[in-house]
A and B are shown apart, each in its own frame.
Chain A
Amino acid sequence: MSSVFYDRFERHSNAEGLKAHATHYCPGCGHGLAHKYLAEAIEELGIQDRVVAVSPVGCSVFLYYYFDVGNTQAAHGRAPAVALGHKMANPDSVVVSYQGDGDLASIGLAEIVSAAQMGIPLTVIFVNNAIYGMTGGQMAPTSLMGQKTATSPHGRAVMAGQPMKMAELISGLDGPVYVERVALFDAKNRNRAKKAIKKALQIQAEGRGLAFVEVLAECPTHLKMNPEEAEAWVREKMLPVFPLGVKKDSVPEPWFKPQAPSFDPEKVMQLVGGSSDHTERHCTTFPTHLDLHDVSLKLAGSGGDGAQTAAMLIAHAGINEGFDATHIPSYGPESRGGTSYADVHVAKEEVHNPAAPKPHIVIAFNSPSLVKFGPTVRPGGTILYDSSVVKNPGKFLEGVKVYGVPMTEIAVDLGKAMVKNIVALGALQAATGLFPKETFLAAIRKALKEKCAMIPLNEQAFAWGVKAVETLSS
């Protein structure tokens, strides 16, 4: 008797009477044997402390009554997903996903196939008895053709599909390293079953990979047979459909040795982008000439115009100056080609509403954007557009200041069309005085910290943007 079984099954109806030492399984049920071989293997390998057993839903739902190991009970079909969660939490644990055929081969197909393909070391014990036991003898994914069950009273027919051959399916995946199908109907096969279960545990315990053992088991109750007849049924009826043997054995050298996660504060800070580098401030006051509390901008163009980057730079610049700022992009399918627009706010204390339905400033990189957002600018506001691409800006509200700046043209002359958004920022600065020039330039330099070579070009683009507006205004 394996010492991995509890000495009293206290979780089994509080261990009252015989339940302290007897399983809940029907007489002759194959689960009892699979449990026994699993317990013995755990004991022989000396891994009892490391084992986490994941109980499924099905007749073996109460596996945790019996095994003196860490136990988790999972939802129907989800045991491999739960097992993976345990394994990732503690790579040193030896996690067993124990499942029946309804659990593994029907409702939990996605979980087992994906876990198997991932190949993270786990041990899967799949008990296939060709029937739903717990719910009362319904057809299982592994029921045989012609097999009469509660939900195939006339025998499994072609409309119900063919039995699922899980060992073959799993061995066809790249992830698992060891797949075997075993049976319990005679001494020789019981011996093989025991060995296979032990091997499957050892492979995981040594960090070699995922092992899958399918156990053809007897469910005398729903086969409506005595155990001896059930053994014969498995041998005569199941074996031709589910041939026994090793389906895959390509066990590699131990490889699964993850490091313990790092909690080094310096490293964490660096990775999340924290930095004590202080950016110098250049604003003496909030741009109250635009608004007393909160200036809003709309930047719009097509995908590659750099509207979002420019918007982001404005938000960064505002925050560097100690103001609050927000930026919201249009996103999703809209951001894949077509119009891309951004709402930006810079507030003295706090941005209340981050949307910009009535912006103080509109920057339009193309004609549709100008048509769409130009009219939303509030009275006294400012519109900047790329006059290289917009030829007929149309009419806007009285009092709205409109600047056509050849952003693309300037950028192309500088050798990189991409920098037209920086030209726009220069123009924005000159047209509105949102922030001093140095504020924008500091934000640009900070953004290009990793690409220093780009800084001079961007500075030039900004300067040309400023100059363009100054020329227009003079």
Chain B
Amino acid sequence: MTELRERPKPFLLPEFCKGCGRCISACAKHCIEYGKEINPQTGLVPVVVDLDQCNACGLCITACPEPYGLRESPVAHDFELEDPEKLYGTRHSTAPEPVDIPPEIIPLPPSEPLVIKGNYASAIGAILAGCRHFYGYPITPSTEGAELMAKLLPLLDGVFVQAVSEVATVNHLYGTGGAGLPCMTFTSSPGFSLMLEGISYMIGAEVPGVFVNVMRGGPGLGNIAPEQSDIKLGVRGLGHGNTHAIVLVPSTPQEMLDLTILAFDLTFKYRNPVVILSDGYLGQMTGKVTLPRTMRKPGIPKWAVYGDRNHRKNLISSIYLSETDLEKHNEYLNGKYASMAVETRAESHLCADLDVLLIACNTPARAAKGAVEELRNRGVKAGLFRPITLWPFPVGQLLPIAKRAKRIVVVEASAGQLEDEVRIALSRTEVRDLAPIEHVRRMGGVLPQQDDIVGKVKRPYAANKAAARRPEVHA
């Protein structure tokens, strides 16, 4: 029976006891009873322990749900009963302060240009940006991206997971992004809708990840032809809460590659997801793509929950229970969104001297560019402004051009979602004497064609206005 004596008896600080009594029935020796006195510090009634009969079986300890409730008494010598700090000494977490492991830039040999689809270009951009983790759910017209990743990543000892749904996909990204590694998905509109919940969590918890949404026709199942009707989701609808993310809108296969690489930079720079809004047409479009001369090997940022000693201190969470803490967090996030203003990007084509300003992004920007050329050939001084970031909107670049324009025509494959962004951005500048905004809109998978645009511009503004008096859904 000597070992029995070596086994420590239980010990309880009354203020850590919730008085649940689970220890009472655990003790065969009836050493523990319900107490009768309310503990003044907790307002609870702790149990009373009398160890006379105790055989140190430890069963009461195993029965206590509280980490600091019943526990083994320290070696029996004198101690100050009331002060846990003195009792056990201060045992701070032994985890070290996390440090950044920086990414590496690796030179690439020169290459002839590739001739590839937009979706492939984006996937290759991700690989060159150091992404070795892909999660996704097949959805047309985005699947080529996932398929290429499925082919290449295993050959690079990377990870391709076909998720059970888009809901699971975004949460895989939350895990891998939370572990500090670059990861991405390809999806299309209905799938993007499903990811919004998780994107809100990622923004709240400051988790990086790249979302390529190859937009298709909606609402509902719609069709698989190109549309731009997720602009509102990307720019103003990233799930619940005060959310924003940089939204990039490529218009060529080359930009699918370049902007994907950029997206990985930005997602880590800001610890915030980045959304690439492409369209079904661009995803399928083959074009010339020049490769960069470097690629990235990612590091592990110091905030990551990687699952090693260096990062043990960390927490990825979007919970701020107290209202003031959550307000502070929102203020911090909003400050971060504001700091993204330096990332605005846009391209202008023949805007130095113009009368008619076309504004378009994605594939419609290419039809608009064609229209600009055609109109110039016919003596109309047209120009194109093409936002490359939709959020933040490049209004600083747009405003000086818009001021010179006599007419502004927004060209888009949606019911005015791009125009809303243009109007919001311009209205915030407080400049009031701009030309009225007209539009060329197609929907349902039909893209605005060069002829539509040229036709619109060739009609005088007054005629367009009369035509527009026909009832229209958009206010």
**With contacts defined as CB atoms under 8 Å apart, how many contacts are there between chain A and chain B in the complex?**
346
Given contacts A73-B319, A316-B115, A332-B140, is CB(A88)–CB(B451) below 8 Å? no
Asked whether A162 is an interface residue with its Cβ less than 8 Å from the other chain, the reply is no
Asked whether A394 is an interface residue with its Cβ less than 8 Å from the other chain, the reply is no
Given contacts A75-B197, A85-B173, is CB(A271)–CB(B155) below 8 Å? yes
Q: Given the complex, which residues of A lie within 8 Å of B307, measured CB to CB?
A: 50-52, 70, 86, 89-90, 92-95
Interchain CA distance A27-B26 in the complex, whole Å: 16
Interchain CA distance A413-B111 in the complex, whole Å: 40
Indicate if the CB atoms of A86 and B312 lie closer than 8 Å: no
Asked whether B308 is an interface residue with its Cβ less than 8 Å from the other chain, the reply is yes
Q: Given the complex, which residues of A lie within 8 Å of B156, measured CB to CB?
A: 261-263, 267-268, 271
Closest to B84 in A: A21
Indicate if the CB atoms of A272 and B288 lie closer than 8 Å: no
Asked whether A58 is an interface residue with its Cβ less than 8 Å from the other chain, the reply is no
Q: Interface with B: A60-68, A415-423, A424-432, which one?
A: A60-68
CB interface residues, A 201-228, toward B, < 8 Å: 220, 226-228
Partner of B224, one of A3, A93, A332: A332
Partner of A5, one of B67, B174, B175, B317: B67
Q: Given the complex, which residues of B lie within 8 Å of A293, measured CB to CB?
A: 373
CB interface residues, B 28-51, toward A, < 8 Å: 41-42, 44
Asked whether B414 is an interface residue with its Cβ less than 8 Å from the other chain, the reply is no
Interchain CA distance A70-B92 in the complex, whole Å: 15
Asked whether A290 is an interface residue with its Cβ less than 8 Å from the other chain, the reply is no
Q: Given the complex, which residues of A lie within 8 Å of B71, measured CB to CB?
A: 1
Asked whether B22 is an interface residue with its Cβ less than 8 Å from the other chain, the reply is yes
Q: What per-residue 1/0 map shows which CB atoms of B89-119 lie under 8 Å from chain A? A: 0111111000000001011111111111000
What class of interface size applies to chain A in its complex with B? 35 or more
Q: Given the complex, which residues of B lie within 8 Å of A51, measured CB to CB?
A: 307
Partner of A29, one of B65, B106, B132, B369: B65
Indicate if the CB atoms of A72 and B316 lie closer than 8 Å: yes
Asked whether A134 is an interface residue with its Cβ less than 8 Å from the other chain, the reply is no
Q: What per-residue 1/0 map shows which CB atoms of A97-112 lie under 8 Å from chain B? A: 0000000000000110
**Nearest Cβ in chain A — how far from B371, in angstroms?**
8
Given contacts A332-B141, A352-B370, A354-B363, is CB(A89)–CB(B179) below 8 Å? yes
Indicate if the CB atoms of B22 and A28 lie closer than 8 Å: yes
Majority SS at the chain B contact face: mixed
Interchain CA distance A212-B349 in the complex, whole Å: 60
Given contacts A27-B18, A78-B168, is CB(A7)–CB(B93) below 8 Å? yes
Asked whether A357 is an interface residue with its Cβ less than 8 Å from the other chain, the reply is yes
Closest to B68 in A: A21
Interchain CA distance A114-B130 in the complex, whole Å: 27
Interchain CA distance A64-B367 in the complex, whole Å: 53
**Nearest Cβ in chain A — how far from B327, in angstroms?**
16
Indicate if the CB atoms of B284 and A325 lie closer than 8 Å: no
Indicate if the CB atoms of A226 and B21 lie closer than 8 Å: yes
Given contacts A86-B307, A274-B291, is CB(A21)–CB(B201) below 8 Å? no
Partner of A258, one of B127, B157, B165, B312: B157
Asked whether A11 is an interface residue with its Cβ less than 8 Å from the other chain, the reply is yes
Indicate if the CB atoms of B109 and A72 lie closer than 8 Å: no
Asked whether A145 is an interface residue with its Cβ less than 8 Å from the other chain, the reply is no
Interchain CA distance A319-B114 in the complex, whole Å: 9
Closest to B308 in A: A49
Asked whether A260 is an interface residue with its Cβ less than 8 Å from the other chain, the reply is yes
Closest to B158 in A: A261
Asked whether B20 is an interface residue with its Cβ less than 8 Å from the other chain, the reply is yes
Indicate if the CB atoms of B174 and A325 lie closer than 8 Å: no
Q: What per-residue 1/0 map shows which CB atoms of A254-278 lie under 8 Å from chain B? A: 0000111111011111011111111
Indicate if the CB atoms of B109 and A276 lie closer than 8 Å: yes
Q: Interface with B: A31-39, A237-245, A462-470, which one?
A: A31-39
Given contacts A2-B67, A324-B287, is CB(A70)–CB(B168) below 8 Å? no
Q: Given the complex, which residues of B lie within 8 Å of A2, measured CB to CB?
A: 67
Indicate if the CB atoms of A78 and B84 lie closer than 8 Å: no
Partner of B115, one of A258, A271, A319: A319
Q: Given the complex, which residues of A lie within 8 Å of B25, measured CB to CB?
A: 186, 228, 231
Indicate if the CB atoms of A276 and B175 lie closer than 8 Å: no
**Nearest Cβ in chain B — how far from A108, in angstroms?**
9
Given contacts A1-B68, A326-B286, is CB(A69)–CB(B312) below 8 Å? yes
Indicate if the CB atoms of A274 and B316 lie closer than 8 Å: no
Q: Interface with B: A163-171, A187-195, A384-392, A398-406, which one?
A: A187-195
Indicate if the CB atoms of A18 and B174 lie closer than 8 Å: no
Asked whether B19 is an interface residue with its Cβ less than 8 Å from the other chain, the reply is yes
Closest to A40 in B: B62
Question: Can you report 23 residue pairs joining A to B where beta carbons are below 8 Å apart?
Answer: A1-B68, A2-B67, A22-B66, A26-B18, A27-B18, A36-B65, A64-B317, A71-B317, A72-B317, A78-B198, A81-B167, A82-B178, A85-B176, A90-B179, A92-B307, A110-B167, A111-B164, A114-B163, A271-B127, A272-B114, A315-B287, A352-B366, A355-B449
- Show the binding face of B for A, using Cβ within 8 Å: 15-16, 18-22, 24-26, 41-42, 44, 59, 62-68, 71-72, 84, 88, 90-95, 104, 106-116, 124, 127-128, 130, 132-133, 135, 140-141, 152, 155-159, 161, 163-165, 167-169, 171-181, 183, 197-198, 201, 205, 224-225, 253, 280-281, 284-288, 291, 295, 297, 305-309, 311-312, 314-319, 321, 363, 366-367, 369-373, 447, 449-451
Q: 9 closest pairs, A vs B, by CB?
A: A85-B175, A93-B307, A32-B65, A353-B370, A28-B20, A89-B179, A81-B171, A274-B111, A114-B164
